[in-house]
Homo-oligomer: A and B are copies of this chain.
Amino acid sequence: MTNSKLGTNAVAQIGVVVHDIETASRAYAELLGIEPPAWFWTDAADKAKTEYGGAPSEARAKLAFIDLGPVQLELIEPDGHPSTWRDHLNARGEGVHHLAFVVEKMKDKIDALEKHGIPLQQKGEYTGGRYAYMDSSRALKVLLELLENDR
């Protein structure tokens, strides 16, 4: 039993926005003694149904994942369309963008966070699930990402 508004306190991913995903992947791979991970594009708008700031966006990003033991590192190279990733890169430069948590009942969690003063910033879908970025930057100094995977 947890009193967490997320239903969990276990961070699952650390998301880092970068200008060049291949260069960043190689740097991590060389440090960690692993093969550089393959990257892939997020789905196009018709599948991803991306909304940023309440409006549909064509935004996509290249993603690559690297295991850091108990959590995953997610490297993110956004395209030029409006997104939380692109705005972070433009405003703050490369670096950690979010901490992700795997949740259940996504809609309830979004509602609870919004009531708590942490508004939805971006949401979208991927094969097998959906995500929501919550703008917790003022309170937590980093964004929260909620991930809900289909069973």
Residues of chain A having any CB pair with chain B under 8 Å: 2-6, 8-11, 14, 16-18, 24, 27-28, 30-34, 67-71, 73, 92-96, 99, 116, 118, 136, 139-142
Contact = CB atoms under 8 A, between A and B. Distances in A.
Given A5-B30, A17-B141, 17 more contacts: A9-B32, A9-B68, A9-B69, A10-B69, A11-B68, A11-B70, A16-B142, A18-B141, A28-B140, A31-B140, A70-B71, A92-B93, A92-B95, A95-B96, A95-B141, A96-B141, A96-B142
Given A96-B96, A141-B24, A5 B33 contact: yes
A54 to B, nearest CB: 23
Contact of A139 (B6, B27, B34, B92): B27
Contact of A67 (B9, B18, B27, B116): B9
A24 B142 CA distance: 11
10 contacts: A8-B69, A9-B32, A9-B69, A16-B141, A31-B139, A31-B140, A70-B71, A71-B71, A95-B141, A96-B141
A71 B69 CA distance: 10
Contact of A5 (B5, B31, B140, B141): B31
Given A18-B141, A94-B141, A4 B24 contact: no
A140 to B, nearest CB: 6
Contact of A4 (B2, B31, B142): B31
